Amino acid sequence: MHIDMPIRRRRPLSLTSLIDVIFLLLLFFMLSSTFVRFAEVEIAGGVASRTAGSQTPDVLIRLDDDGWQVNGLSLDADMAVTELKRLEEQDASSAVLLVRGEVSSQELVSAVERIRRETSLSLSVAR
Amino acid sequence: MLRLSRPLPPRQRESTIALINIVFLMLIFFLIAGTLSPPLDRDIRLISTTTAEGAAPPDALFVTSEGLLRTQGELIDPAAYVENLKADADQEQPQIKLAADRDLPATRLIEIVGTLREVGAGRISIVTERIAR
């Protein structure tokens, strides 16, 4: 005798486990990702007494609490960059940035970035 | 006459499809817009720049505003850090990324750069965050 098996109806797939996994992934990516865009500024040089002696720099820039000094001239930031461009046209190729006083790292890096951007002097920093 | 309340209609279950849709959208957003990065030191406010070259999220040596060197939340001295890098990367002059606090005195920063050079570091760069202008 031939007996028909009853047709089993498929139950819809449970979504709970799917949501669990997706929630986990979401949490992971929310907590571990960052939206900060990073950048790098290279710093050449170091403590003055140890790096000097290889060659004398063409331009000496001093950065202190009162502002910039380029080869002894006290200037504000814009004037200093103009002066650096002028010196560069007169075949200056290397510059040393000296830091004095209470200058913060932010100011130092901003200055280095600006000089790199607007001139092509090879720049090193010293204390 | 006695009033009988009608039996309430059975409540329909909230559909989970809408919920999954939103969660999926958020997942895709974070996948695409975010960048995975090694954890940064919480006490440090990175120096901000506008035009410097972009870089991948760094595994950096952190310098607090008091001039203390930290990596992965623990104090470390420059020689040990450079030694670790040399051992890991198998390079003579490992490249070092410094993430300094913006209020760190610049003289101290240069001192640290000098010390790192002395103990055998190669290229040293400062990690900054790029802000839109």
The arrangement of secondary structure in B47-130, i.e. its CATH architecture, is 2-Layer Sandwich (3.30)
Q: How far is CA B83 from CA A37, B74, B86, B88, B94, in A?
A: 29, 16, 5, 9, 9
Quote the minimal CA–CA distance from A87 to chain B in Å: 23
Say whether pLDDT at B87 is over 70.
Answer: yes
Give the pLDDT band of residue B43 (cuts 50, 70, 90). Answer: confident
Most confident of A10-14, A89-93, B18-22, B38-42: B18-22
* pLDDT score recorded for residue B28: 92
Question: What radius of gyration do chain A's Cα atoms show?
Answer: 31
State the best of B107, B115, B123 to mutate against chain A, taking most chain A CBs within 10 Å.
B107
3-state secondary structure of A3: coil
Quote the minimal CA–CA distance from B11 to chain A in Å: 20
β pairing state of B35-36 and B47-49: unpaired
Residue of A nearest to B49 (CA): A110
Quote the minimal CA–CA distance from A6 to chain B in Å: 29
What does the H/E/C string look like for chain B? CCCCCCCCCCCCCCCHHHHHHHHHHHHHHHHHHCEECCCCCCCCCEEEECCCEECCCCCCEEECCCCCEEECCEECCHHHHHHHHHHHHCCCCCCEEEEEECCCEHHHHHHHHHHHHHCCCCCEEEEEEECCC
The 10s digit of each residue's pLDDT in B51-73 is 777 777 778 888 888 888 888 87
State the best of B49, B62, B118, B130 to mutate against chain A, taking most chain A CBs within 10 Å.
B49
Residue percentage of chain B with pLDDT more than 90: 4
- The stretch B35-39 carries a mean pLDDT of 80
What residue ranges do the domains of chain B occupy? 47-130
* A122 strand-pairing partners: A94
Whether chain B has a CB inside 8 Å of the CB on A24: the answer is no
* pLDDT score recorded for residue A35: 83
Residue of A nearest to B111 (CA): A47
Tell which B residues from 28 to 87 touch A, by Cβ distance under 8 Å. Answer: 30-31, 33-37, 40, 46-58
Binary contact (B23, A23; C-beta < 8 A): yes
Mind listing the pLDDT tens digit of every residue in chain A (127 residues)?
A: 788 877 778 887 777 888 889 999 999 988 888 888 888 888 887 665 454 455 677 888 888 888 888 888 788 878 888 888 888 888 888 888 888 888 888 888 888 888 888 888 888 888 7
State the best of A17, A30, A43, A64 to mutate against chain B, taking most chain B CBs within 10 Å.
A43
Residue percentage of chain B with pLDDT more than 70: 99
Binary contact (B100, A105; C-beta < 8 A): yes
